Amino acid sequence: MIIFIGLLLILLANSKEVNMGKNLYNELLAEEERVIIHKGTERPFSGKYNNFFKNGTYHCKRCDAPLYRSQDKFSSTCGWPSFDDEIKEKIRKEMDVDGIRTEILCANCGAHLGHIFTGEKLTEKDVRHCVNSLSLKFVEETNATQNEKAYFAGGCFWGVEYHFERKEGVISAISGYMGGTQENPSYQDVCYKNTGHLEVVEVTYNPSKVSYETLAKLFFEIHDPEQANGQGPDIGEQYTSAIFYNNDSEKEIAEKLIEILETKGYTVVTRLMPSDTFWRAEEYHQDYYKKNKSRPYCHVYQKRF
C-alpha cells in the first residue's frame, strides 16, 4: 500500500511538471502545431516571411527564443524564408528521420523549424536554413535603419538582378514589371500584348551599408545607357533603360549621374519616371542565372564613373 501511494505521488508530480512545461509555451493554432510539434511543412511561397525583409529578429513561435537576425536573411526563391547564419547556440541540429536531411530545431523548446542545406553556393557562407514561417515570430527593430527599395530597368531583368545581388548592402534583387497599364501582367502579356511595362528589378537595400547613389552608379555601369531600342540583342520596348524614382532625392541623384556621363561624352537615353506598382515576375525568372549556373550574356560591368 505504501509503495502504491508512493508511485501515485510520483506520477502526479510528473504530470504537474508536464502541465507546467506546457503552460510555459505559447498557445499554437492547429496549423502551427502541425508544423512545430508534428514536424510538418507549410506550402512553398505561402508563408508570411518568405518575401519579407524588414529589420529585426526572428523568434521561435512556440517559446519566443531569438533564433535569427534579419541581416542573415536572403532571397533564395525556394519558397521558404532562408537564412545563412543563426544566433549562436539558439539552433539545434539533428539528423532527420529520413536519414538524409539535417533538421533544425529551437534549442530552447525543441520546436521544429525546418532543414539546413549546404553546397548550393547561394551566399558566401554557402549554407541555407530553410525555415517555415509558421515556426517564426518577427520582432521589428524600430530604432534600426530601415531597408529601402530602388527600381531599375536595364534590359533583360535576369542580368540586372544578377549584378545587384552581388553588391554589398543589397538584401535582395527581385525581377518584375513596372510602368504599364495592366494589373498583375504575365511575361507573355508584357512581351506580346503591348501593356507598356518594362522589365524592372526591385532592389531592397540597407542604406547604412550602401547608398542609393552607389546603386544608381552600378546601374549605369552594368548596361548600355546609350542604347534606345533595347539592351544588347534583346530588342523591344520592355527592355528600355529607365530608373523609376521614389522621391525627388532619387530623381536628383539620377539626373546628376546622367549629367556626369554626358560631360564624359555619353549620349544617355535612360528615362526617369516616378515609381509605380511593382509586379513580381514568375518564379522561373527569379535568380535565373543562379538556377542555371550561367552568367549574363548582355550585361557586362564597365566602369564609367
Active site residues: 156
Strands laid side by side in the 112-118 sheet: 73-74, 82-83, 127-131, 112-118, 102-106, 91-95
4 Cβ contact partners less than 8 Å away, ≥ 6 residues apart: none
Read off the C-alpha cell for 263.
560631360
19 Cβ contact partners less than 8 Å away, ≥ 6 residues apart: none
Q: What is the DSSP letter of 89?
A: T
Question: If residue 161 lies in a helix (H) or strand (E), which one and from where to where?
Answer: helix 157-165
- Residue 221 phi/psi, 5-degree rounding, is -105, -5
Question: Which residues in the chain belong to E strands, given as ranges?
Answer: 56-60, 66-69, 73-74, 82-83, 91-95, 102-106, 112-118, 127-131, 136-140, 148-154, 170-178, 198-205, 230-231, 234-235, 241-245, 271-274, 279-280
- For the range 6-15, what are the long-range contacts, defined as Cβ-Cβ under 8 Å and sequence gap of 24 or more? none
Q: How far apart are CA 276 and CA 245, in angstroms?
A: 9
